[in-house]
Amino acid sequence: MSQPVIEINNIVTQLSGNLIHDGVSFSVGRGEVTALIGGSGTGKSVLLKEIIGLIRPQSGSIKLFGEDVWAVNEARLMALRQRFGVLFQDGALFSSLTVEQNVAAPLHEHTTLSPKECLELARLKIALAGLPTSSWEKMPSELSGGMRKRAALARALALDPELLFLDEPTSGLDPISARAFDRLIRLLSDSLGLTVFLVTHDLDTLLSMVNRIIVLARGKVLGQGTVEELVKIDDPWLQDYFSARFVEEHA
């Protein structure tokens, strides 16, 4: 087994006096699709921001590709950031750039490719994300929610990352678009050998495309494993979370 891609050790986070994480530890291996779930306010998004180096935890260590995100210098962190892509919840596309400019932006910044090559590669990523050619020159404000997510995915894939972070990838999408998005992520992670780490509430996503689930509750990791393994854990929130769905399916 090679070195894990994400390694989180004993994270403690306190935000404005509230203890959010009280010793969170887990690791994610290469090529895995892992989901982080938990009730509202359990600090899923905060944890994601800590992993990608935006919020500093009070203590504990977060390693990506074996390097401590919060111990390396600025230059190493920038280099590290080129190895992963992030899909923010509402896409976070730059509103003053067209879709193709949004996707080409990281290529312009971090490679020495010619503008034409950047644009071609950007269009390839847009095609991979399943957007039609007509979307190339649209502004983000002209896109539907689902298209915005796809454009943001194309931007996250621009630098051919090894690791992809998704913050609620299917929130705000209709069930059909959400399943299509799940299939797309699965296809990309299988074809490109991506490691995917996502925060989600979507049970269908968990059932259809995720290898492993990590449950966050009361500041700790409550459990991890597949859906079948998790339903055996005796926790009221977890039972509620899964029961609705299973009752529905077995009725």
The residues that touch another protein, with contacts defined as CB under 8 A, are: 75-76, 78-80, 82-83, 95-96, 110-113, 116-117, 119-121, 123-128, 133, 139-141, 157, 159-160, 187-188, 190-193
Q: Is residue 187 a contact partner of residue 209, using CB atoms and an 8 Å limit?
A: no
State which residue, 137 or 229, has the beta carbon closest to another protein: 137
Q: State which residue, 49 or 123, has the beta carbon closest to another protein.
A: 123
Instruction: Report d(CA 165, CA 135) in Å as an integer.
Output: 24
C-alpha–C-alpha distance, residues 100 and 121, integer Å: 10
Least separation in angstroms between residue 25's CB and another protein is: 27
In this complex, which beta carbon is closest to another protein, that of residue 9 or of residue 111?
111
Pairing of the two strands 163-167 and 220-225? unpaired
CB nearer to another protein: pick between 21 and 125: 125
Is 104:121 a contact under the CB 8 Å cutoff? yes
Tokens of 5: 């891609």
Q: Which is nearer to another protein, 188 or 213 (CB)?
A: 188
Nearer to another protein, 76 or 218 (CB): 76
Could you tell me the smallest distance in angstroms from the CB atom of residue 35 to another protein? 22
Among 211, 212, 205, smallest CA distance to 181 is for 205
Instruction: Quote the strand ranges of 44-174, DSSP E.
Output: 59-64, 67-68, 84-87, 163-167
DSSP character string of 120-139: HHHHHHHHHTT--GGGTT--
Least distance (Å) between residue 189 CB and another protein: 10
- Write down the least CB distance from residue 78 to another protein, Å: 6
User: How far is Cα 152 from Cα 87, in angstroms, rounded to an integer?
Assistant: 6
